Amino acid sequence: MSEGGIGAAPVRVDGRDKVTGRARYAVEHPVDAPLHAWVVQAQVAVGQVRHVDRQSALDVPGVVAVLDAGNAPRVADAADAELMVLQGPQVSYRGQVVALVLAESLEAAREGARVLRVTYDEAPHDVQLTRDHPKLYRPGQVNPAFPADSAQGDFEAAWNGSPHRVDVRCSTPAEFNNPMEPHATTAQWDGDRLLVHDSTQGTTSVKQHLAAAFDVAEDGVRVLAPHVGGGFGAKGSARPNVVLAVMGARATGRTVKLALTRAQQFSLVGYRTPTLQRVRLAAGTDGRLTAFAHDAVEQTSTVFEFAEQTTEGTRHMYGARASRTTHRLAALDVPTPRWMRAPGEAPGMYGLETAMDELAEVTGIDPVELRIRNDTQTDPETGQPFSSRHLVECLRRGAERFGWAGRDPRPGVRRDGRWLVGTGVAAATYPVYLSASGARARRCPDGTFEVGVNATDVGTGARTVLLQVAADALGVPPECVRVDIADSDLPPAPVAGGSSGTSSWGTAVHLACRRLLEGTDEQVVVDTADVIAAQAEVSRHAFGAHFAEVRVDLDSGEVRVSRMLGVFAAGRIVNPRTARSQLLGGMVMGVSMALHESGSLDVGSGDYANANLADYHVAAHADIADLDAEWVEEVDDQLNPIGTKGIGEIGIVGSPAAVHNAVWHATGVRVRDLPITPDKLLAGLPQR
């Protein structure tokens, strides 16, 4: 390892630029005389736009143009119909884009949008998800490409013949990504050449979509995303903002800047689908599972199908001779759900790991011990051996550090004044993904090196860790290497998503640098598709264990997470500093999911009533006390040349369940429908 290479903990190379304001985000890049765009959203849930009175907005000083389905540039059919903006009068959900106002100033654009008169022919809408909704169907597959259902053995026979059983129904609400930087785009045409600065998790995919949508050559489109203020999955593919900005620029011949408002984020860029889950666990007298079933009901839109893989993680977690998992979907008059940090695994592991806690209660077995007894080194779903699985080490290390030994298993017995105190545990898993990526490495005349990889740093430290990977492969100090990222002119690369970024991009960077050293060329370009095709047939997953302590106020029902510990087995850690930050960030989002976040659907209007950060609460500094994260050393040579698994999502998986289990231990009350709010707890709390 070179000094500062893999395993070192340097600070982020772009840290100073970000804290001093030198880092430029999507709408901050200086351009001459740009137009500012403001989105106009549908005020009905279902129907058709009858008329757009453009003149009502054009009368506002500074307004230059109004685009709607009657005059907007045509775009080619897209596989994602949410990107076919302003292409017809149909309204499929409240908040869908019906017009775009372009003006000389942001204020004029906003005022033009406010006064724009749009009339509709409204139709009845259906927006409420239920377990027995008449529109439920089995999707062909769930994200990204898993079978919707799976079954092994005779579940009913194993269930009926087992001495211990739990049958749990739980739910998670609609949850919204809310990255600090909203979805935003600056777009400018120069003839048939298009330059876009976009807040995206992947410039390659945005470039490909724009080229197809606007019928231009891919080499005539350049998408840049040098700094992105968070994404959490919401920026994992092109969203309406980038299409609208490019459309506005084409229609006016001017550079256009467009940034969605916080409220618009709630309907235009995706969210986590609500889930209605049923988990059944059967076990023998020794606590070992004999059967499990996990069923999930979710929603999608009528515009585009997105099926979350809610029960997929359950298929790989614990062994049993019989199992069944299902997904059912209802296409409602709602915006399309999308990826949100650990899609599927985050809500699904909440269902499984709270049910495991109830099984521990029924069997009288310690919750940590119960999980250890059900560990398996063979993937229950595929029969393949795990490339590495150190869940037991995570559980034991976490229990030791957290002070689990001697815990009184009885709920509601530990008090500190007016506070009830409890502790809980939950396990976690997340798959290891690896996608084909390109990268190039070049030897400079002065003896330094340049590396280019179309990675996107969404605040995770990708720039820093890829510099470490390059320095390590080249055997030189990091100051001898320059890494260029987030430019679609670089070799194509996958999005920053699925906890696959470092592994996918890092593999390409490692191979490009190694081949540069081995040859005589001054520049090497690689594509890792052949490496991925040659992967061994093993099951690859990261694992973890979360431990939480909560305090519940007897008078108000307020829940405080007083301390939380996560211990993970996530392959080789490239940078301990940025890794710990990532894991803690996931845990914070898990606390937020457990206690705060919930979209409040107004069935009458078909809209979420709390589409703002005043009413939709996310965990803030005051909600977070003592959090810590660590990992066990894990060497796995069956993953990729650098041995990484991915850490962006394992931190949130399981953490809401640990909080739920701790709340039950503190109070004896189980709130199975997230979030756990004071009103849900108060009815069951003992009187003082």
Q: Which residues are catalytic?
A: 649
Cis ω before 173 (30° cut-off from 0): no
358-363 long-range contacts, CB within 8 A, separation 24+:
358/166, 358/168, 358/281, 358/670, 359/164, 359/166, 359/281, 359/283, 359/287, 360/287, 360/409, 361/409, 362/164, 362/165, 362/166, 363/164, 363/283, 363/285, 363/287
The string of DSSP codes covering 528-555 is THHHHHT--S-B-EEEEEEEEEEEEETT
DSSP-derived letter for residue 11 is P
DSSP-derived letter for residue 365 is -
Residue 572: exposure state from Cβ atoms within 10 A (0-12, 13-18, ≥19): buried
Strand partners of residue 568: 544, 631
Closest to 127 in 3D by CA, of 337, 335, 343: 335
Q: Which two tokens stand for residue 2?
A: 């070179």
The answer to whether the beta carbons of residues 227 and 254 sit under 8 Å apart is no
Helical residues (DSSP H) of 140-193, grouped into ranges = 155-160
DSSP-derived letter for residue 446 is T
Give the span between the Cα atoms of 678 and 127, in whole angstroms.
27
Hey, how many other C-beta atoms are within 10 angstroms of the C-beta on 316? Answer: 22
Give the span between the Cα atoms of 371 and 323, in whole angstroms.
17
Closest to 652 in 3D by CA, of 544, 496, 502, 569: 544
Give the span between the Cα atoms of 630 and 566, in whole angstroms.
6
